[in-house]
Chain A
Amino acid sequence: MSNNFAIKTIDLTKKFGNFTACDNLTFEVHKGEIFGFLGANGAGKTTAMKMLSGLLSPTSGTAKIADYDIYKESEKIKKNIGYMSQKFSLYDDLTIQENINFFAGIYGLSNKLIKEKSEVVINELDLKKQQNKLVGSLPLGWKQKLAFSIAIFHNPAIVFLDEPTGGVDPVTRRQFWDLIYQSAERGLTVFLTTHYMDESEYCNRIAIMANGKLAAIGTPKELKESNSSSSMNDVFIQIARGKNYV
């Protein structure tokens, strides 16, 4: 298996009884790539994410995540990935510093390292003055940026983002994407799921799931051209509708 892939799956399948949630998924994500993973509700997105992050064991097929085997090395996978969701990411009733200490502590980072690194992160985010403020008092945009920084604090190879920028204003959203782009250029692989088709256009490549299968994969431009649509929204609607969507 080539070392250029952060994620490589072959015929990855997950069945729940008679129901096939993920049907023979074969794809790869390059290192340092921003990869968008789209699908309607119930298309199998969440199941795929759970398998890739080592939370769920596949029924059949193989996959390597950050060069670790999905069956045998799920604990190592967990150590080498980061996760951020819009629903839950930080504790509102802890300060910024306490949140960092807590999450970094989970990944077993030494106190010295946490101290050094949190200084860098806090300076980069320009949160020096707010360091000891409760996270709950921060504006949503800052919270999201902080959550992202904490998700990649332990230097994971891959970070999974679940609808990271819902509901923020367009400028803050760009600032968030700046962070993502910056990290990607430093070599981090970003795996993003979203409902928000606008957001998907920021990705380098996109995969669309429909009815448990991989329905399309490519750069936003390629997908738009091959479906002769002007936006990812239209592409998505065409693909998802084509698969007898209810």
Chain B
Amino acid sequence: MFNGFLGFFKKEFIQIFRDKKSLLILLGIPTIQILLFGFAITNEIRDVRIAILDYSKDNTTKEIISKIVSTNYFKLYKMLRNEKDIERAFQTGEIKEAIVFSQNFGQNLEKFGKANVQFINDGTDPNTATTIIGYTNSIIGQYQNEITRTRQIPLIITPEVKMRYNPELKGVFLSVPGLISIILMLISAMMTSISITKEKESGSMEVLLVSPIKPAVVIIAKVIPYAIISVTIATIVLTLGRFVFEVPIKGNLILLFAEITVYVIMSLSLGILISTVAKTQQVALFISLIGLMMPTVLLSGFIFPIENMPIWLQPFTYLIPARWFIVIIKNIMLKGSDFSTILNETLVLFLMILVTISISIKKYKIRL
């Protein structure tokens, strides 16, 4: 039996490496994606036009304004006179953000240690908007720290929006974990399901069934090469993230790769499950894209924060493996968490593997 496994295993590798074009796409797409995500998002904030409405016009607001304008993130378009001007400035499409300082801003800060500032953003592009808010916030935050240092009582400027982690809201920080989970799902699940259904479609599955080799051996031999490729791709993405975009990997590297392997096994077993249902490569591709990719992208929390989803939708996110994996990988990479903090998420993934594999075994046919 081992002979058969080895022969089949070898065959899979030959096939994968002989098809240079597909292999290039397989390895190239993640690279391109991470570069695109990285550069597109980091370069977004540069010379963003803003308008400022200063009801206070005191020294404090002047200082803050000069701080904001002196960065190369922002460019002052206009000092506004009243609320109506804000609307006009947006309408003409000249500005992306309006900053409004409340009356007696400096006085309030001095007297009560508190003052309010309002950011009004162009919501048509929510991603850019949140990024801009993040930048404005951090500049004001810096100023706040500076003036607090010279006084005894802490001074608080309260902007309407707050960001906790990733203070500069660097896109790559979030997109590396998200991308890894989506790419691994895509390659592991889609590639294995396609490669198994390909055997069905070409008729070679018939010959394999009418042979002493056990179906389980065929599948394991088929899956391992894709597992290796998936982990390789994860390494590429992590390396690019680390050295090109300086995304930190604060946690344990072994733990990180162990978790990646668990997630890859999860995705592979989904691929096997798909192949028990799909008869043609086309169907397999369809199920992988619509049934796996879409929910993974939409519901994993990678693009849309789960907290912002309607309550009824939130429970569905529990079914998405990537939802758990993103938490795991973010914790390890960005926070440097150890195994105990991500124990629950890991257990969920293991449970999912168990369920998928059992269903696959039950559904797997020893005949046509």
Per the CB under 8 Å rule, do A and B touch in the complex?
no
Q: Tell me the B residues contacting A by CB distance below 8 Å.
A: none
Q: List A residues at the B interface (Cβ < 8 Å).
A: none
